[in-house]
Structures are given as C-alpha cells and as structure tokens.
C-alpha cells in the first residue's frame, strides 16, 4: 500500500499527537513501523508533542518510612567452629617396581609415565616417586631430551637423500 495524500495527512496528525511509530503503523494498516519512521524523516517531521504515556500506570512499591537509629549493640565476632575432618590417607608410593599404579591409586608426587596400551585392562602408570616433574628420574630423562645445539645443519643434498625414501 502506498503513501497517498490522505494517509500522509493522517501520519502527520498522529505524529504531532505523540503516537509512536508502531501505534501509527497499526492505525494506518498496511505499513510497518520502519516505513512510518522513514516517511517521518523524509517529510522532515521533528517537532512533536510529548511521547505517549502507557495506558496503565507503572506500579511503584511504597518506600518504607525511615527508622530512627537505634543504639547499636557491640558486635561479637563469631569464633570459627572446629570441623572434624578425617585425616588424609598418606600417599603410598609404589615400590621400585614400575607399572603398578592405576588411575585410581596415582598420587600427586608419583610418576605418571604410562605403561602399556590405554585400551587394555593391563594399562598402568609407573608410580615411582617423582619430585618436581610428573615423571621419575628414569622417565624424566626419556621425556625431556636436551637440545642438540652442537649438531651441524644438514645440507641440501643430505635432505634430498633422506626424502627419497618417502617418494
């Protein structure tokens, strides 16, 4: 539906009366809120009455009357209650035989080096004592290899020779 002279006059009147664009669109019918806003801007209608008020008044809860300040009683600091907690079980390190710790028995300072296939029933962890690393000294040497700074860089011919087996 297009903007006829009659519809434009109704739009101007409703806009000056302070109706919202949504309300005007409903009254005109066949146009959207955005179409009303666009037409208002194209017509240059800016000065309008105060915006419409909602039909029902907003509910405001009554404020409580201010109380007279009563003398404050001295505050007592509550003493913390002593909660009886069971003593933690001591961490039992597996004997020097690796491979006897399971996921359930693995502690914080135990070697977490996996032994076996994780899908099998026989999968375990090393379980020996570990200090600053997640692994015992033996597995730490395997896991953390020192960088080889003294090694010479391979030449182009050596790289080509090593790649031939993959081609």
Q: Which helix H or strand E contains 124, and what residues bound it?
A: strand 124-125
pLDDT in tens, 85-143: 665 554 555 445 666 788 888 888 888 888 888 888 888 888 888 878 888 888 888 88
* Phi, psi of 5, deg, nearest 5: -60, -40
3-state secondary structure of 95: coil
Rounded Cα distance, 109 and 116, in Å: 21
pTM for this entry: 0.33
Condensed to tens digits (0 to 9), the pLDDT of residues 13-64 reads 998 888 889 999 999 888 999 999 999 988 888 766 555 566 666 667 777 7
The closest of 81, 9, 76, 80 to 45, measured between CA atoms, is 9
38-68 burial: b if 16+ Cβ within 10 Å, else e:
ebbeeeeeeeeeeeeeeeeeeeeeeeeeeee
């Amino acid at each position: 539906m297009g903007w006829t002279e009659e519809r434009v006059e109704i739009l101007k009147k409703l806009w000056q009366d302070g109706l919202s664009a949504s309300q005007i669109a409903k009254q005109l019918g066949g146009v959207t809120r955005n179409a009303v806003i666009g037409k208002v801007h194209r017509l240059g209608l800016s000065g309008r009455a105060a915006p419409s008020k909602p039909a029902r008044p907003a509910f405001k809860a009554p404020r409580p009357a201010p109380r007279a300040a009563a003398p404050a009683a001295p505050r007592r600091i509550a003493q913390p209650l002593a909660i009886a907690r069971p003593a933690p079980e001591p961490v039992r390190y597996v004997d020097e035989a690796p491979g006897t710790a399971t996921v359930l028995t693995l502690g914080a300072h135990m070697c977490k080096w996996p032994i076996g296939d994780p899908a099998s029933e026989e999968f375990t962890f090393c379980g020996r004592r570990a200090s600053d690393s997640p692994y015992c000294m033996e597995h730490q040497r395997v896991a953390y290899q020192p960088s080889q700074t003294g090694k010479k860089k391979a030449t182009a011919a050596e790289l080509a020779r090593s790649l031939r087996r993959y081609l």
